[in-house]
Structure 1
Amino acid sequence: MSDWIAVDWGTTSLRATRMAGERAVETRRSGDGMGGLARDGFEPALMALVEDWLDGPTEVVACGMVGSRQGWAEAPYATVPCAPPLDRAVAVDTRDPRLRLRIVPGVSQTAPHPDVMRGEEVQIAGILRASPEFDGVACLPGTHTKWAHLSAGEIVSFRTAMTGELFALLGRQSVLRHSLGGEDWDAAAFAEAVSDALSRPERALGRLFELRAADLLLGQPAATARSILSGLLIGAELAATKPWWLGRDVVICGADALARAYETALRAQGLQPRVLPAEATTLAGLTAAKEAS
């Protein structure tokens, strides 16, 4: 059975972890993300994963898009500057009396530009749990990469880049899909593309169709095309977010391969970023949320 259950619920997936105090015992995943569920579908989706973990009332602490307006129940945003709003978790009524569900709110800002995050604030809490005095920037790569300035235990400001979503859309729905198969990687091609896009971001858009032409005319390998596309998009992102990372201490927290790509790109700019594992950091943040409330 479980002391409590940690839940990271995104747009496309659901991850639940049975916890014994601060220790993860077992993790289960499903494709029942927020984007595919009606309001009355969330509890059945969660129960399908965790019902055999329940032996009487069990605390469940959740983060991510489950707390959005289209989620199980809306957890209103906290506004920057603020600490990760772990103590503002919203209690949610459930049909099954064994569930004691609370959802951690996201974070918003209106200036210097409007932006929102849900789920990343818990990763930030995990970073601060490990390094309470951290003063710098958290880079949280994913579908929508976040760059968050952290100081004195607070999120000061942040910027979102849709790099991951653009990569997925171009790779699955554009003409480039014919030239980007497989999972292999060309590190040299990636590094060159990052450098080119960072130094001349206005050229990145024009280089995209070259990937298709190079395949048709020169037989360019799919691994090279994938790596160049990733490099162009990440390089353009770094150009757009330079005020967040230039000259600052940076912590990267994301899925391993993606985090390493960002690490490589930043190291080429003279930075020495630290890389933290995404799942462990999220669980640390959810543990802090459980303790806070």
Structure 2
Amino acid sequence: MAERVTPDWIAVDWGTTNLRAYAMQGATVLARADSDDGMGKLASDGFEPALMALISGWLEAGPVPVIACGMVGSRQGWVEAPYRSVPCTPLAEKLTTAPTTGDLSVRVVSGLSQSAPADVMRGEETQVAGFLALNPGWDGVLCMPGTHTKWVHLSAGEVVSFQTFMSGELFALISAHSVLRHSLGGDGWDAEAFAAAVSDAMSKPEALAARLFGLRAGNLLHGTGAPVTRATLSGLLIGAELAAARPYWLGQNIAILGMGDQARAYGQALRQQGIEAMLVDTEKATLAGLTAAYRNAKALT
């Protein structure tokens, strides 16, 4: 249960695996709370109890508005917040109200969609809005690494287009369920192997499948260690992604959402192409986006 504070409103970032809540006073965080009650483990009637279990300590002085983003607004979530088609601003003027049994007021941010090529985002639109709020007037491409990495073209305060790559999920699936799992155990990372693999995949992306099996063969025949194999696998997948996403990053201002290992790996891969990308704190962007959504909603009441 969250500590007892009296916020003006509550910001909620509700993904597939995690629920994160923030007690807010304007744009200032008073307290944080989180749980593993992500959308993926909840039935339709489980969302309100999961949220109340986390934030009830913040509601002792009475109900406060809750602004939520992420998979909570998906078809399998608490309430479906309809997609908005790009090009458009990252945030809609109106939010979707979630059904509740008590005085709790929960409104959910809509995701974005693209017709051709078909693509969707949910949750990332709030981070985009936060990034733009923190960097007013910025035009360029925002790289959003994750399980499903997104490249988002931004201009004049709008999302012009975007493209999603499943590189993170492929890395996880290959590491856990393919023959390569026998070669990836242990810790460590080889930066030189990563850089070489990025260059290899960018120059010959059509050879990706063969290069992947070569990792297993290298382990069997030459005793290639897990740090080299893991870094090479990551480099091959990110390099192939960069080759396909070239129209997004070539000649553009680039920012990367994230400060951790995955974001730094993308930064290194782009640096090999002569591009220095700005790293952006994910939580700050998310909270700035939720704050913008709250202010928009408040202005309409």
Corresponding position: 1:63 with 2:69? yes
Corresponding position: 1:140 with 2:144? yes
Corresponding position: 1:201 with 2:205? yes
Residues 33-69 of structure 1 show CA distances to partners (whole Å, capped at 9, x for unaligned) of 2122111111122122222222211111111111011
Q: How many Å separate the matches in 2 of 1:51 and 1:272?
A: 44
Cα shift at 1:264: 0.6
Cα shift at 1:75: 0.3
Which of 73, 84, 94 aligns to 1:88? It is 94
3-state secondary structure, aligned to 1:128 = helix
TM norm structure 1:
0.96
Residue 130 of structure 1 aligns to which amino acid in structure 2?
Answer: L
Residue 81 of structure 2 aligns to which amino acid in structure 1?
Answer: A
Choose 163-172 or 12-21, whichever is displaced more: 12-21
Residues 141-180 of structure 1 show CA distances to partners (whole Å, capped at 9, x for unaligned) of 1111111110000000110001111111111111212221
In the comparison of the two structures, how many residue pairs are matched?
291
Corresponding position: 1:167 with 2:166? no
Which of 284, 289, 292 aligns to 1:288? It is 292
1:18 maps to which residue? 23
Q: 1:229 to 1:290 in 2, by over 3 A?
A: same
Q: 1:84 to 1:183 in 2, by over 3 A?
A: farther
Residue 294 of structure 2 aligns to which amino acid in structure 1?
Answer: K
1:28 maps to which residue? 33
Cα shift at 1:25: 2.6
Contact 2:259 2:280 in 1 (8 A): no
Choose 263-272 or 253-262, whichever is displaced more: 253-262
Q: How many Å separate the matches in 2 of 1:183 and 1:14?
A: 28
Cα shift at 1:226: 1.1
2:8 maps to which residue? 3
Cα shift at 1:86: 4.0
Alignment of 1:215-226 (within 5 A): 215-226=219-230
Contact 2:23 2:31 in 1 (8 A): yes
Q: How many Å separate the matches in 2 of 1:54 and 1:178?
A: 50
Q: How many Å separate the matches in 2 of 1:9 and 1:266?
A: 30
Q: How many Å separate the matches in 2 of 1:131 and 1:184?
A: 35
1:74 maps to which residue? 80
Contact 1:142 1:254 in 2 (8 A): no
Corresponding position: 1:153 with 2:145? no
Residues 51-97 of structure 1 show CA distances to partners (whole Å, capped at 9, x for unaligned) of 22222111111111110111100000111010012422112221232
Residue 22 of structure 1 aligns to which amino acid in structure 2?
Answer: A
Q: How many Å separate the matches in 2 of 1:94 and 1:183?
A: 46
2:43 maps to which residue? 38
Contact 2:11 2:22 in 1 (8 A): yes
3-state secondary structure, aligned to 1:88 = coil
Could you list the structure 1 runs, at least 4 aligned residues long, displaced by more than 4 angstroms after superposition: none
Which of 256, 271, 277 aligns to 1:273? It is 277
Cα shift at 1:255: 5.2
Residues 104-129 of structure 1 show CA distances to partners (whole Å, capped at 9, x for unaligned) of 00000102x11100011011001110
Q: How many Å separate the matches in 1 of 2:68 and 2:11?
A: 6
Choose 233-242 or 37-46, whichever is displaced more: 37-46
Residue 88 of structure 1 aligns to which amino acid in structure 2?
Answer: K
Q: 1:220 to 1:250 in 2, by over 3 A?
A: same
Q: How many Å separate the matches in 2 of 1:44 and 1:176?
A: 41
TM norm structure 2:
0.93
Identity percentage of aligned residues = 60
3-state secondary structure, aligned to 2:45 = helix
Q: 1:185 to 1:26 in 2, by over 3 A?
A: farther
Q: How many Å separate the matches in 1 of 2:174 and 2:259?
A: 20
Q: How many Å separate the matches in 2 of 1:17 and 1:184?
A: 34
Corresponding position: 1:49 with 2:50? no
Cα shift at 1:183: 4.2
Cα shift at 1:219: 2.1
Contact 1:148 1:158 in 2 (8 A): yes
Structure 2 residues without counterparts, runs of 5 or longer: none
3-state secondary structure, aligned to 2:82 = coil
Residue 260 of structure 1 aligns to which amino acid in structure 2?
Answer: R
Q: How many Å separate the matches in 1 of 2:270 and 2:210?
A: 23
Q: How many Å separate the matches in 2 of 1:25 and 1:209?
A: 50
